[in-house]
């Protein structure tokens, strides 16, 4: 066995069956081993999209991997890795490199920066939990295991740069993988749990709001258990949308500051305690900081730390915190006064199409509430993700979006990756704005190449509507593609929607779509058509 084969065997044992990426001369030995392994190489059109695809894959499988060559390949994937770091996604980036002797003497080779062979590992050191050049072949396998332990324990990306000669260096077969032990300060945990217990016991109203860390730690079931034991109400958010609880009777709806429905705002902002579990308290999550929540109300558990108005508790994992709360919080009944499932777009609201009515954003998402079904993987990008905050998801849906790092184009790349991580028969839906789709549209050809039967909605509003609402100008216009005709070049099937009747015909075809390749549905809406939440967020950003 060699170092490349060792790494591939480790990935296979951890549930990874696909590696996304693009070869180059410095990583060709690794790609040869990949081609000979049980894992499948999935070729994206560029390294950035390979990173997005591996990110989407990791959401479903718990770990994703991308392989690139040294220099331009590694630098091209940087933005995707930064997003994975911001949003706590376990992602392994494998980069090839020159030989170990070249690292020592630093000749002026192609793909290198003069005298800065360490530039890439330094850059990735800023956006990963672990970044290393495996320049000592005797230590390479130990560094691989350490990187993967950190990746999985911290839910953060890691970067391994492997010189080309080390990629084929012989090594022993891997022993059983030893995961990093869970670290928790028991005294700090007990104090945090006690603090929250006192608050919940003394207060009249507590609201639970789970975020993206709940998904990364696999705590969806325990959060539901906590809700059902205590009777506490819960809300979904923009970042880390709680796809697992939106149909629960104790779900009050979506909360995003002033971008929420009035009933949700009143209930959340009148609470004695708002318990944020793994939530980034960013401007986007708080409706451009329009949320009227005081420090006294907020309990924030994020990134191994619990902060309340009366204490700060470090080295407390979210898993241990939820377990502790399950143990000590008293049983209770659901609040009969709480609003229930307050979403703008939901299946309980009847939808009757008006055949010749022009499509609008509102009517599109009203209809999507009836189209999305349990088991679907739904990836949303940019403006579509903002609108989808108010789209109530059925039980069993997996939702993918980059709402904190907010890199447009990520959603479509993630949908491509999700096609390989999804279970047989599981639908992958992508909700794309035209601007975000143009960022990573090349992967439409990859979907066709690998016969991925994704259903891709491209909402064509002729440019960057989010930016228009902040600061209008011709710089927000983009090329007016005929999106539904792209499958003629790339593969798949394309349909065009102008009216509600057109949408019904397109969805009828989508219901039975199994390929070959993707189905593109281009949905035309007015360039200035935006939801209330979308407009509010843009107004807030404009004020900044």
Checking if the pLDDT of 540 tops 80, the result is no
pTM, rounded to two decimals: 0.95
Checking if the pLDDT of 37 tops 70, the result is yes
Could you give the CA distance from residue 448 to residue 493 in angstroms, rounded to a whole number?
Answer: 10
Which has the higher per-residue pLDDT, 120 or 532?
120
Which 8-state DSSP code applies to residue 483? G
pLDDT tens string 217-254: 999 999 999 999 999 999 999 999 999 999 999 999 99
Could you give the CA distance from residue 441 to residue 85 in angstroms, rounded to a whole number?
Answer: 24
Checking if the pLDDT of 474 tops 70, the result is yes
Kindly report the length of the chain. Answer: 544
Residue ranges with strand state E in 143-225: 158-163, 206-210
What confidence score (pLDDT) does residue 258 get? 87
Helix, strand, coil shares of the chain, percent, nearest 5, are 40, 20, 40
Give the pair of three-digit tokens for residue 411. Answer: 């959603």
Measured from the Cβ of residue 423, the count of other Cβ atoms closer than 10 Å reads 8
Three-state DSSP string of 62-106 = CCEEEEECCCHHHHHCHHHHHHHHHCCCCEEEEEEECCHHHHHHC
Could you give the CA distance from residue 336 to residue 231 in angstroms, rounded to a whole number?
Answer: 10
Could you give the CA distance from residue 66 to residue 164 in angstroms, rounded to a whole number?
Answer: 17
| Nearest in space to 254 (alpha carbons), one of 403, 348, 397, 391 | 391
Checking if the pLDDT of 403 tops 80, the result is yes
Overall average pLDDT of the 160-167 stretch: 98
Between 145-149, 392-396, 492-496, 536-540, the lowest mean confidence (pLDDT) is in: 536-540
Overall average pLDDT of the 366-378 stretch: 98
Could you give the CA distance from residue 109 to residue 98 in angstroms, rounded to a whole number?
Answer: 9
Q: Which residues contact 541 (CB under 8 A, 6 or more apart)?
A: 283, 288, 470
What pLDDT band is residue 544 in, cutting at 50, 70 and 90?
low
- Secondary structure (DSSP) of 419-482: HHHSPTT--EEEEEEHHHHHHHTTHHHHHHHTT---EEEEEE-SS-HHHHHHS-SGGG------
pLDDT tens string 195-220: 999 999 999 999 999 999 999 999 99
Checking if the pLDDT of 118 tops 70, the result is yes
- Secondary structure (DSSP) of 323-357: HHHHHHSPP----TTS---B-SB-TTS-----TTS
Average pLDDT, the chain: 95
Between 223-232, 285-294, 419-428, 487-496, the lowest mean confidence (pLDDT) is in: 285-294
Overall average pLDDT of the 79-100 stretch: 98
Cβ 391 vs Cβ 241: under 8 Å? no
What pLDDT band is residue 288 in, cutting at 50, 70 and 90?
confident
Q: Domains of the chain by range and CATH?
A: 3-167 (3.40.50.970), 186-328 (3.40.50.1220), 361-543 (3.40.50.970)
What confidence score (pLDDT) does residue 468 get? 66
203 phi/psi in degrees, rounded to 5: -85, 165
Cβ 77 vs Cβ 9: under 8 Å? no
């Amino acid at each position: 066995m060699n170092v490349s084969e060792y790494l591939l065997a480790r990935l296979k044992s951890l549930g990874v069956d696909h590696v996304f990426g693009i070869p180059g001369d410095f990583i060709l030995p690794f790609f040869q081993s990949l081609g000979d392994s049980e894992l499948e190489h999935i070729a994206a059109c560029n390294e950035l999209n390979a990173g997005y695809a591996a990110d989407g894959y990791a959401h479903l499988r718990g770990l994703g991997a991308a392989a690139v060559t040294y220099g331009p390949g590694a630098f091209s994937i940087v933005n995707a890795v930064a997003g994975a770091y911001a949003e706590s996604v376990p992602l392994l980036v494998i980069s090839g490199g020159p030989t170990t002797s070249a690292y020592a003497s630093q000749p002026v080779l192609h793909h290198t920066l003069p005298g800065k062979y360490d530039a890439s590992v330094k850059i990735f050191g800023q956006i990963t939990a672990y970044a290393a050049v495996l320049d000592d072949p005797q230590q390479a396998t130990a560094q691989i295991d350490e990187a993967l332990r950190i990746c999985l324990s911290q839910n953060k990306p890691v970067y391994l740069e492997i010189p080309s000669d080390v990629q084929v260096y012989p090594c022993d077969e891997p022993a059983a993988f030893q995961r990093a032990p869970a670290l928790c300060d028991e005294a700090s945990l007990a104090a945090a749990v006690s603090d929250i217990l006192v608050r919940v016991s003394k207060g009249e109203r507590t609201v639970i709001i789970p975020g993206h860390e709940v998904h990364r730690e696999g705590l969806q079931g325990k959060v539901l258990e906590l809700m059902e034991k205590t009777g506490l109400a819960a809300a979904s958010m923009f970042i880390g949308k709680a796809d697992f609880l939106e149909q629960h009777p104790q779900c009050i709806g979506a909360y995003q500051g002033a971008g929420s429905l009035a009933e949700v705002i009143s209930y959340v902002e009148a609470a004695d305690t708002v318990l944020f579990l793994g939530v980034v308290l960013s401007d986007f999550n708080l409706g451009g900081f329009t949320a009227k929540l005081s420090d006294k109300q907020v309990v924030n558990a994020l990134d191994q730390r619990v902060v309340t108005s009366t204490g700060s508790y470090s080295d407390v994992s979210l898993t241990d915190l939820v377990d502790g709360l399950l143990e000590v919080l008293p049983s209770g009944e659901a609040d009969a006064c709480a609003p229930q499932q307050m979403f703008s777009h939901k299946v309980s609201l009847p939808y009757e199409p008006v055949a010749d009515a022009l499509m609008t954003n509102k009517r599109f998402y009203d209809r999507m509430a009836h189209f999305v079904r349990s088991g679907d993987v739904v990836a949303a990008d940019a403006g579509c993700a903002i609108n989808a905050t108010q789209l109530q998801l059925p039980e069993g849906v997996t939702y993918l979006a980059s709402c904190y790092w907010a890199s447009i184009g990520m959603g479509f790349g993630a949908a491509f990756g999700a096609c390989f991580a999804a279970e047989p028969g599981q639908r992958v839906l992508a909700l794309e704005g035209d601007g975000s789709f143009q960022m990573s549209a090349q992967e439409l050809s990859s979907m066709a190449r690998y016969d991925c039967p994704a259903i891709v909605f491209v909402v064509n509003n002729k440019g960057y509507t989010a930016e228009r609402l902040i600061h209008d100008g011709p710089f927000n216009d983009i090329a007016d593609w005929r999106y539904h005709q792209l499958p003629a070049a790339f593969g798949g099937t394309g349909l065009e929607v102008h009216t509600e009747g057109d949408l019904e015909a397109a969805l009828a075809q989508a219901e039975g779509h199994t390929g070959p390749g993707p189905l593109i549905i281009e949905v035309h809406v007015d360039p200035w058509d935006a939801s209330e939440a979308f407009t509010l967020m843009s107004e807030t950003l404009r004020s900044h």
